Amino acid sequence: MNKTGDQYTLNVPETGKKRIVVIGGGFGGLSFLKKLRSKAFQVVLLDRYNYHTFQPLLYQVATAGLEPDSIAGPLRKIIRNRKDWHFRMLRVNRIDIEKNKVFTTAGVLAYDYLIIATGSKINYFGNDSIAINAYPVKQVTHALDLRHTLFQQFEGLEILDRNSGVQENFNFVVVGAGPTGVEICGALAELKKHVLPKDYPELDISRMHIFLVEGLSKVLPTMSDSSGKKAKKYLEQAGVKVILNCMTDSFDGKTVHLNNGEKIVTNTLIWAAGVKPNLPEGIPGDFMEKDSLRVNVFNQLYNKDNTKIIDNVFAIGDIAFMKTEKYENGLPGLAPVAIQQGKHLATNMKRMLHGKAFNSFKYVNRGVMATIGRNRAVADLPCKINLSGTVGWMLWMMVHLLYLIEFRNKILVFINWFWNYVTYDRGIRLIIRPSPKSKDRISREMFKAMRNDE
């Protein structure tokens, strides 16, 4: 780092090329980098993690179906062997679009073009008790915390008296009936049916209860009514208790309080109820709408009065609010949107190099889907085609394998899925780092003991 005044300049070489700074190595940022492949720019990728996470499969890491390295890949591998492309692992604190600078935890970096692809973060809707005590499923660390807690609790139950009344260890509450919540419930139901009875034969696994709480009137609110009804049916057949039209008021680590007056004792509340844009500081409010960055059809920032366009700053993915005739409330917060925007922006940057005008972005909806376990999934495809059951499940698997970051990930996931399907087993049930979030006494003692052994 070179010190300049009271600030530090981030250690990136000056080469005389136009510098593109990409903030975020998620679906949008990654698809942009993979498509660009140009030696004409200096490219700098900034992210607080040194890996990309395939978030749609995090729930399988959380429920012992996959290891983290199956759904994650190092960001440096994406940019290596590309001359004058750089990665810096750090957090972006602020952006100054007037001075064309990014302020990070390690220093300041000037840019010629800025691509904001910071994605989304967990939305607790201002509920502090849930933020402190619930288990989110947004990052690899979250998934591992949940996985370790799950198996810690059953190990603890083996130690206790068989007649002990610790029902909170057997109860699991999932809040949010979107794809993530539905898929977690399906995975927990499969653990209950196929894995836990074999691992813990002395426990009465029938005492395990899974609750799905949703504030709206149907399961999978963003999908068709047909898919929502099918998913609810599949969940109930798997033994999940679905509670609709009900909000979660609070969770103190022992009891979930619902706004219908019902209480559920549990140590484990899994929060899948929503996300919000992960907005960097420094962007003037005039360029925002619904806590997102207003972008035109070229993904460039523009203000509410349509009087100013920041033509060298772009936003893609969940952070971008692009209003179209079909999507008046903005494009959906889905991985395919971010991927398509990233690829389209890379193509436009190449067009700019050759003196050509930008093309407008048009989102192509290729469908939305969710799985509820073995041979059970729902899919809403274009032209109002709805699939469910085994056909929907096979399509879900193929699509997710296709979108995984590397060939190695595809092979690892396929092998794990094949093994799990044939053996009705989950081979990844290690408690490597017990979760300090665990609320029951036995798990806390296990955690302290393992820490003391280090």
β-strands 292-294, 320-321: how paired?
parallel
- In DSSP terms, 177 is beta-bridged to none
The single residue of 14, 155, 183, 190 carrying the catalytic annotation is: 183
The Cβ-side half-sphere exposure at 352, using a 13 Å CA radius, reads: 16
Instruction: Check residue 446 and give its pLDDT.
Output: 56
In the structure encoding, which two tokens stand for residue 172, read together?
A: 């699991």
Say which residues have a Cβ less than 8 Å from residue 398's Cβ, sequence separation at least 6: none
Whether 183 is a known active-site residue: answer: yes
Instruction: Give the span between the Cα atoms of 255 and 142, in whole angstroms.
Output: 21
What is the block-wise mean pLDDT of the chain (454 residues), using blocks of 10 residues? 59 93 96 92 96 94 92 91 93 95 94 97 94 94 92 85 74 97 97 94 93 97 95 97 97 95 95 93 94 96 92 97 92 94 97 95 94 95 91 94 88 91 82 67 55 50
Instruction: Give the span between the Cα atoms of 176 and 190, in whole angstroms.
Output: 19
Phi then psi dihedrals of residue 364, to 5 deg:
-105, 110
pTM reported for the whole predicted model: 0.91
